[in-house]
């Protein structure tokens, strides 16, 4: 199989998978087998594409032309392969976890759930491998629409309200800001292809470029830069596997991924550095980091706390991207991976706690560590990664972002990181402390232990990944340094 | 035979209409009408191919050369529109059988199909002819047929709706006729090509300017540009479902085509935009139309009426595109003409299916539709996404070109209006989808629409997606048509 075939199959397989899942809905065991097989083959295909990329194969597929000069086309580069690997790899783990969760909580409409999940992965793969902004936009919208039924899964008023916010913000921003930004780029540059070094240099007046950058920044609401972040807490009404894979990994990372793509391959870092007031983007992202952490401090619901923590962590990535130092671009790319491992672990633990004990509030977690030692240990690992303490994944990316800040003497970034680290510690550490060192307030009605074994396996696995990434990040690092043209 | 294609499109329904009226029952006239429509579709596709190879097809009616006789003149713009009209007719007619049986009744069915054939004949005639007076004749044919068809609606309010449209439509047609009369006085010809040739020399006269004002106003009444749209919501709401689907998809588009023909070919860009304040008048009206009609849509309890107001807004987009007076704007207008026909056709056909099973088209009839009529519901979702302009649907292609045209001119406020319009579409489509998805139906038994309605409906839905992905046919032809029109209708 050539790398090009594999590339096309990464789109066909999840799409076909969703159809098969729909057809086998009557037999749950068969349906779940289909999900797992789809996930595993998707990951294998992404690996094949990666091998092709490393071997220097020419990779690029062009389908139909929608707008003159802008076909629906796919290719790959270091950043896209990283995003695709994380999303598809973690889909396998999430599927194992989701089977336990969905059966453990007796959710309704499980077939629809798995169908939409596969469709969302189809969207994520399309975003990852798109060769131009139009293709990216199309799959960006696929991702929005396919996750709406997942957010509103429960179908009650709360879910409906959450879904409305979710769709309203993501659709409005993408149509009102992102689409004009893309068409404007097309009018200015005559193309929408992702080209190393950018396509806008010399095609757009510097003053207009500031406005265009802001249109992109707020148009890509999936990156959750304040004030277009409200959809993410709203999405927390979804079942936890959705929050874990989609709203900690696939959807939000599609957002920051798009922004990095725009900065590196549409504007080009050199050109963007000349754009006046470009640093507004850095300040906005920095503000998001601090503000989200402050809001997180006051949250009482576990999943909402994690949502605000995600907003803050996405802010790191956006801030690092917009800082424009080579090191910080690498840091931004690596943080996509690092945050994914840590945050999916945290969401997995939140879901495991819910399935085992029906607890959803932070105040209920006192002493739970001794009932669910694996789960809470994994929680601790994930939380440490968010704070950025070695030996966890979060430390690696923070290192590079700080290095980037020193490269440019950008002390704003540095100060934001320091404050954010302190705030992260302030809201995560008490939870861990209370879980292990405080007595339970009341004896629970049900004398529970750990969640079902496949859930515990999944969350232990991702916790291990979080630690392993600290030690073995060489290959990822080598790959991602290519986006800035080699190690600076 | 191939030579006579332009006239065959007119002749087939003309001969079919009296035949259908003479038949008994509902199945035979239906079959006849359907076959005629399919034949017309075949003819118009062949015509489009001819135009594609020759650039222009001229047919001299009865061998009488213009300017004494009437000539039919086809270029990219009207050949594409003919495909849309006959194509929509070919899809709506198979769908109509059950719907008409229920809503109109067997007794009146022959008359219904006869009137429908006359309507198709009229629309095709307006589109194909190259004679300004002939346009008026066909305009009257199609209008009279339309009044009859609307009046056949189940609801008694259909009668007043039909009467309102009759008054407004007649005023529009009269205005048009007055304008054409003035032109005849000044130039001594009714042939469009001759008019285009002779007008520039005398364009500074107040008679020509008055003629222009009469013609534009008259046509704007027919195409329901805000604030001349008052006849449209009731006409669409109360007429039989199949008629609404066909009218919404084609009738207003044909009027838009006549406007384009007069503005660009006959009067020419220099006169319309340079000497007359066409853009200054049409752009504010279409902007207000887009925003106000979309806003009204959001609160309509009757979904057919909601879609009717949405049509007024969408016509605003089309007029906006042509009022820009640039090749890109005209391309966007032509594209949206075709694309809007596809999406509104599909959506009104969904409403027909809902009316067939639920007995009404209020929003509470749509509650829980995802469970009771899943295929119909998903057709609405896809058609709705197309109306909003989500990528991979035709709506996206239209919107892209319209925004592109506005950006080329640097008209940022217009870009904002277009985007605001599609945001409002998210609202009014969204609330229907939410009702269908989460609402609890009074009766939860599954009662999907019959195959006879579902198949044509889904053909249109798939066309919405097909032409949203493979845009070669539509975009290329729209670009070619716009280039022809901007050059004053001369074949390139």
Best mutation target, B400, B425, B428, to test chain A (most A CBs within 10 A): B400
CA distances from A115 to A11, A119, A149, B204 (A): 15, 6, 10, 66
pLDDT (tens digit, 9 = 90+) per residue, A175-195? 999 999 999 999 888 889 998
Contact B151, B162 (CB under 8 A): yes
Contact A404, A328 (CB under 8 A): yes
Nearest-angstrom CA–CA distance, A53 and A311: 32
Inside any domain, residue B305? yes
Structure tokens at A303: 């999943």
- Collect all residues of chain B within an 8 Å Cβ-Cβ radius of residue A67: 397, 400, 471, 475
Q: How many helices (H) and strands (E) does chain B have?
A: 20, 2
CA distances from B271 to A232, B38, B491 (A): 54, 40, 20
Instruction: Assess A183–B contact: CB distance below 8 Å, yes or no.
Output: yes
Instruction: Assess A179–B contact: CB distance below 8 Å, yes or no.
Output: yes
Best mutation target, B339, B385, B391, B411, to test chain A (most A CBs within 10 A): B391
Smallest Cα distance from B105 to chain A, Å: 40
Instruction: Assess A157–B contact: CB distance below 8 Å, yes or no.
Output: no
- Collect all residues of chain B within an 8 Å Cβ-Cβ radius of residue A148: none
CB contact under 8 A, A187 and B469: no
CB contact under 8 A, B438 and A152: yes
Q: How confident is the model at residue B488 (pLDDT cuts 50, 70, 90)?
A: low
Instruction: Assess A205–B contact: CB distance below 8 Å, yes or no.
Output: no
CB contact under 8 A, B407 and A187: yes
CB contact under 8 A, A72 and B469: yes
Look up tokens 């991976």; give the residue: A337
C-alpha torsion B123→B129→B135→B140, nearest 10: -40
Q: How confident is the model at residue B379 (pLDDT cuts 50, 70, 90)?
A: very high
Q: Does residue B492 carry a pLDDT above 50? A: no
Nearest to B438 among A142, A160, A186 (CB): A160
Smallest Cα distance from B431 to chain A, Å: 10
Predicted confidence at residue A486, as pLDDT, reads 64
Comparison of pLDDT for A124 and B487, the residue scoring more? A124
Look up tokens 């999936």; give the residue: A222
Predicted confidence at residue A1, as pLDDT, reads 80
Nearest-angstrom CA–CA distance, B212 and A476: 69
Please give the DSSP secondary-structure letter assigned to residue B61.
G
- Collect all residues of chain B within an 8 Å Cβ-Cβ radius of residue A157: none
Please give the DSSP secondary-structure letter assigned to residue B240.
-
Q: Does residue B346 carry a pLDDT above 90? A: yes
Q: Does residue B67 carry a pLDDT above 80? A: no
Q: How confident is the model at residue B373 (pLDDT cuts 50, 70, 90)?
A: confident
Predicted confidence at residue B392, as pLDDT, reads 87
Q: How confident is the model at residue B4 (pLDDT cuts 50, 70, 90)?
A: confident
Nearest to B475 among A68, A152, A160 (CB): A68
From first to last of its 488 residues, chain A has per-residue pLDDT tens of: 888 888 999 999 999 999 999 898 888 888 889 999 999 999 999 999 998 888 888 888 888 888 878 889 999 988 999 999 999 999 999 998 888 888 888 888 888 889 998 999 999 999 999 999 999 999 999 999 999 989 988 888 888 889 889 988 999 899 999 999 999 999 888 889 998 888 888 888 878 889 999 999 999 999 999 889 999 999 888 888 888 888 888 899 999 999 999 998 999 888 888 888 888 999 999 999 999 999 999 999 999 999 999 999 999 999 999 988 888 888 999 999 999 999 999 999 999 998 888 888 888 888 888 888 899 999 999 999 999 888 899 999 899 999 988 888 888 999 999 999 999 999 899 999 988 888 877 766 667 788 888 889 899 999 999 999 998 888 888 888 887 776 65
Nearest to A66 among B408, B422, B469 (CB): B469
Instruction: Assess A187–B contact: CB distance below 8 Å, yes or no.
Output: yes
pLDDT (tens digit, 9 = 90+) per residue, B96-107? 888 888 888 888
Contact B194, B216 (CB under 8 A): no
Question: In 3-state terms, what secondary structure has residue A130?
Answer: strand
Instruction: Assess A155–B contact: CB distance below 8 Å, yes or no.
Output: yes
∠ CA B386-B392-B396 to the nearest 5 degrees?
55
Phi, psi of A423 (to 5 degrees): -65, -40
Contact A171, A144 (CB under 8 A): yes
Q: CA nearest B412 in A: which residue?
A: A180
Nearest to A187 among B389, B404, B430 (CB): B404
Count the residues in chain B: 492
- Collect all residues of chain B within an 8 Å Cβ-Cβ radius of residue A152: 437-438
Smallest Cα distance from B324 to chain A, Å: 17
pLDDT (tens digit, 9 = 90+) per residue, B88-128? 999 999 998 888 888 888 888 899 999 999 999 999 999 99
- Collect all residues of chain B within an 8 Å Cβ-Cβ radius of residue A66: 397, 468-469, 471
DSSP assignment of B380-426? HHHHHHHHHT-TTSHHHHHHHHHHHHHHHHT-HHHHHHHHHHHHHHH
Provide the β-strand partners of residue B204. none
- Collect all residues of chain B within an 8 Å Cβ-Cβ radius of residue A145: 385, 390
Nearest-angstrom CA–CA distance, A417 and B423: 37
Omega before A391 cis (within 30°)?
A: yes
Nearest to A64 among B399, B407, B469 (CB): B469
Predicted confidence at residue B219, as pLDDT, reads 93
Smallest Cα distance from A201 to chain B, Å: 19
pLDDT above 90 coverage of chain B, percent: 49
- Number of cross-chain residue pairs from A and B with Cβ atoms under 8 Å apart: 65
Nearest to B419 among A66, A141, A175 (CB): A175
- Collect all residues of chain B within an 8 Å Cβ-Cβ radius of residue A72: 469
H-helix or E-strand spanning residue B216: helix B206-222
Q: CA nearest B466 in A: which residue?
A: A66
Count of domains observed in chain B: 1
- Collect all residues of chain A within an 8 Å Cβ-Cβ radius of residue B420: 176
Please give the DSSP secondary-structure letter assigned to residue B362.
B
Inside any domain, residue B479? yes
- Collect all residues of chain B within an 8 Å Cβ-Cβ radius of residue A160: 434, 438
Residues B76-85, mean pLDDT to the nearest whole number? 90
Show the domain range for B347: 277-492
Smallest Cα distance from A311 to chain B, Å: 25
Predicted confidence at residue A488, as pLDDT, reads 57
Smallest Cα distance from A266 to chain B, Å: 19
Is residue B354 classed exposed, middle or buried when 0-12, 13-18 and 19+ CB atoms within 10 A define those classes? buried
CB contact under 8 A, A180 and B397: no
Nearest-angstrom CA–CA distance, B266 and A120: 52
Look up tokens 């800001």; give the residue: A177
∠ CA A332-A334-A340 to the nearest 5 degrees?
100
Average pLDDT across chain A, whole number: 89
CB contact under 8 A, B423 and A184: no
Smallest Cα distance from B52 to chain A, Å: 19
Q: CA nearest A184 in B: which residue?
A: B407
**Pairing relationship of beta strands B71-74 and B57-60 according to DSSP bridges:** antiparallel
H-helix or E-strand spanning residue B135: helix B132-151
To the question of pTM greater than 0.80 for the whole model, the response is yes
CB contact under 8 A, A141 and B390: yes
Q: Torsion-angle region of residue A367: left (phi > 0), alpha (psi -120 to 50) or beta? A: left
pLDDT (tens digit, 9 = 90+) per residue, B185-236? 988 888 888 888 888 888 888 899 999 999 999 999 998 888 888 899 999 9
CA distances from A287 to A233, A258, A292, A325, A426 (A): 18, 20, 8, 19, 18
Please give the DSSP secondary-structure letter assigned to residue B325.
-
- Collect all residues of chain A within an 8 Å Cβ-Cβ radius of residue B469: 64, 66, 72
Instruction: Assess A175–B contact: CB distance below 8 Å, yes or no.
Output: yes
- Collect all residues of chain B within an 8 Å Cβ-Cβ radius of residue A64: 469-472
Q: How confident is the model at residue B490 (pLDDT cuts 50, 70, 90)?
A: very low
Instruction: Assess A184–B contact: CB distance below 8 Å, yes or no.
Output: yes
Inside any domain, residue B158? no
Structure tokens at A232: 């993410």
Inside any domain, residue B194? no
B-contacting residues in A 35-74 (Cβ below 8 Å): 64-68, 72
Look up tokens 């929680």; give the residue: A379
DSSP assignment of A311-328? HHHHHHHHHHHHH--HHH
CA–centroid distance for B449 within its chain = 26
Nearest to B419 among A66, A68, A180 (CB): A180
Nearest-angstrom CA–CA distance, B117 and B111: 10
Smallest Cα distance from A139 to chain B, Å: 8
- Collect all residues of chain B within an 8 Å Cβ-Cβ radius of residue A175: 389, 419, 422-423, 426
Residues B249-270, mean pLDDT to the nearest whole number? 90
Provide the β-strand partners of residue A193. A132
């Amino acid at each position: 199989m050539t790398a090009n075939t594999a590339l096309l199959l990464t789109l066909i397989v999840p799409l076909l998978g969703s159809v098969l899942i729909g057809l086998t809905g009557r037999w749950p065991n068969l349906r779940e087998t289909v999900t797992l097989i789809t996930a595993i083959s998707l990951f294998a295909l992404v690996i094949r594409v990666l091998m092709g990329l490393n071997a220097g194969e020419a990779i690029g597929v062009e389908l139909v032309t929608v707008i003159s000069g802008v076909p629906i086309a796919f290719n790959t580069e270091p950043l896209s392969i990283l995003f695709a690997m994380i999303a598809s790899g973690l889909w396998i783990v999430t599927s194992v976890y989701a089977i336990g969760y969905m059966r453990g909580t007796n959710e309704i409409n499980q077939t629809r759930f798995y169908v939409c999940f596969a469709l969302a992965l189809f969207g994520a793969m399309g975003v990852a491998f798109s060769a131009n902004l139009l293709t990216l936009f199309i799959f960006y919208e696929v991702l929005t629409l396919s996750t709406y039924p997942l957010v509103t899964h429960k179908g009650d008023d709360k879910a409906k309200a959450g879904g409305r916010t979710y769709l309203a913000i993501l659709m409005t921003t993408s149509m009102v800001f992102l689409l004009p930004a893309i068409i404007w780029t097309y009018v200015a540059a005559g193309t929408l292809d992702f080209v190393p070094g950018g396509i806008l240099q010399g095609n757009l007046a510097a003053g207009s470029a500031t406005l265009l950058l802001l249109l992109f920044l707020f148009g890509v609401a999936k990156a959750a830069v304040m004030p277009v972040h409200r959809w993410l807490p709203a999405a927390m009404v979804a079942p936890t596997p959705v929050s874990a894979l989609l709203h900690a990994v696939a959807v939000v990372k599609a957002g920051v991924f798009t922004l990095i793509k725009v900065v590196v391959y549409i504007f080009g870092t050199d050109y963007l550095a000349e754009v006046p007031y470009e640093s507004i983007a850095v300040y906005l992202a920095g503000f998001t980091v601090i503000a989200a952490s402050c809001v997180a401090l006051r949250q009482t619901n576990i999943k909402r706390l994690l949502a605000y923590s995600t907003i803050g962590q996405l802010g790191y990535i956006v801030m690092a991207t917009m800082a424009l130092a080579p090191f910080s671009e690498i840091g931004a790319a690596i943080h996509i991976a690092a945050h994914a491992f840590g945050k999916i672990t945290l969401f997995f633990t939140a879901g495991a706690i819910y399935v085992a004990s029906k607890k959803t509030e932070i105040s209920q977690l006192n002493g739970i560590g001794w009932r669910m030692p694996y789960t809470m240990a994994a929680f601790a690992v994930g939380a440490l990664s968010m704070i950025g303490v070695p030996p966890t994944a979060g430390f690696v990316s923070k290192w590079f972002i700080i290095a980037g800040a020193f490269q440019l003497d950008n002390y704003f970034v540095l100060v934001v990181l320091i404050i954010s680290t302190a705030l992260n510690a302030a809201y995560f550490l008490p939870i861990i402390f209370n879980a292990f060192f405080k007595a339970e307030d009341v004896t629970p009605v049900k004398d529970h232990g750990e969640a079902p074994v496949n859930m515990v396996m999944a969350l232990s696995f991702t916790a291990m990944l979080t630690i392993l990434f600290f030690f073995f990040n060489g290959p990822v690092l080598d790959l991602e340094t290519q986006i800035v043209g080699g190690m600076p | 035979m191939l030579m006579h294609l332009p006239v065959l499109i007119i002749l087939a329904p003309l001969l079919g209409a009296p035949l259908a009226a003479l038949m008994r029952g509902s199945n035979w006239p239906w079959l006849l009408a359907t076959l005629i429509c399919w034949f017309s579709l075949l003819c118009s596709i062949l015509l489009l191919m001819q135009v594609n190879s020759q650039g222009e097809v001229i047919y001299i009616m009865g061998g009488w050369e213009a300017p004494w006789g009437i000539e039919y003149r086809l270029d990219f713009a009207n050949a594409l529109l003919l495909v849309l009209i006959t194509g929509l007719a070919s899809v709506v007619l198979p769908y109509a059988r059950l719907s008409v049986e229920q809503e109109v009744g067997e007794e009146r069915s022959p008359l219904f199909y006869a009137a429908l054939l006359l309507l198709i004949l009229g629309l095709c005639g307006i589109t194909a002819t190259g004679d300004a007076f002939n346009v008026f004749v066909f305009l009257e044919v199609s209008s009279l047929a339309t009044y009859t068809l609307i009046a056949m609606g189940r609801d008694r309010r259909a009668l007043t709706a039909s009467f309102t449209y009759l008054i407004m439509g007649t005023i529009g047609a009269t205005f048009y006729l007055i304008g054409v009369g003035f032109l005849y006085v000044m130039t001594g010809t009714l042939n469009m090509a001759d008019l285009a040739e002779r007008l520039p020399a005398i364009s500074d006269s107040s008679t020509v300017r008055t003629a222009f004002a009469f013609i534009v106003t008259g046509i704007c009444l027919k195409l329901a540009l805000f604030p001349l749209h008052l006849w449209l919501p009731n006409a669409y709401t109360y007429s039989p479902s199949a008629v609404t689907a066909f009218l919404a998809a084609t009738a207003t588009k044909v009027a838009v085509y006549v406007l384009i023909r007069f503005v660009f070919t006959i009067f020419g860009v220099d006169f319309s935009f340079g000497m007359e304040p066409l853009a200054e008048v049409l752009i504010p009206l279409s902007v207000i139309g887009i925003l106000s009609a979309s806003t009204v849509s959001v609160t309509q309890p009757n979904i057919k009426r909601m879609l009717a107001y949405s049509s007024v807004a969408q016509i605003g987009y089309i007029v906006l595109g042509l009022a820009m007076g640039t090749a890109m704007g005209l391309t966007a207008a032509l594209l949206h003409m075709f694309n809007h026909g596809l999406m509104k056709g599909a959506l009104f056909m969904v409403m027909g299916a809902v009316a067939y099973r639920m007995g009404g088209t209020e929003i509470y009839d749509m509650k829980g539709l995802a469970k009771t009529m899943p295929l119909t519901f998903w057709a609405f979702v896809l058609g709705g996404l197309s109306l909003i302009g989500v990528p991979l649907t035709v709506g996206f292609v239209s919107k892209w070109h319209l925004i592109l045209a506005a950006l080329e001119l640097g008209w940022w406020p217009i870009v904002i209006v277009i985007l605001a319009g599609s945001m409002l579409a998210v609202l009014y489509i969204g609330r229907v989808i939410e009702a269908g998805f989460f609402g609890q139906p009074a009766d939860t038994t599954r009662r999907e629409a019959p195959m006879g309605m579902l198949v044509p409906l889904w053909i249109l839905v798939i066309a919405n997606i097909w032409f949203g992905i493979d845009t070669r046919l539509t975009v290329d032809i729209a670009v070619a048509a716009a280039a022809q029109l901007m050059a004053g209708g001369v074949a390139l």
